Amino acid sequence: MSKNLIQIWDSLCRKTPFLARRIHWSDGYHAVVEAIDCDKMPYGTAYGYAVAGGQPTNHFEYDKNWRESKVIPCGGNYSWELVDE
């Protein structure tokens, strides 16, 4: 079952950074989650950046909030999975 980034963070004993991907992304595309701001589970804000092939990418560049504060777009959607690499 897919989770949101806050749920994944909680399952990792609230440790960052971690690597996650949207379930519809192509292989090799991931998000590095560097920080989580959470007042009430499972709601919060995830911060980080996108990578493709292990290298930082501008995949989130379309989102003004990400450009200004590194808030990962759609971090609260239940469409993420942990990447074990």
DSSP letter for each residue of 38-53: EEETTEEEEEEEEEET
DSSP class of residue 66 equals: H
The residue whose two tokens read 């749920």 is 7
* 5-33 pLDDT per residue, tens: 999 999 999 999 999 999 999 989 999 99
Is 82 within a domain?
A: no
- What local confidence, expressed as pLDDT, does residue 29 receive? 94
Please give the average per-residue pLDDT across 43-63, as a whole number: 93
The model's pTM = 0.92
- The count of domains in the chain is 1
Residue 25 forms part of a structural domain: yes
Helix then strand then coil, in percent of the chain rounded to 5, is 15, 40, 45
Domain of residue 55 covers 5-76
Asked whether residue 84 is assigned to any structural domain, the reply reads: no
| pLDDT tens-place string over residues 28-51 | 999 999 999 999 999 999 999 999
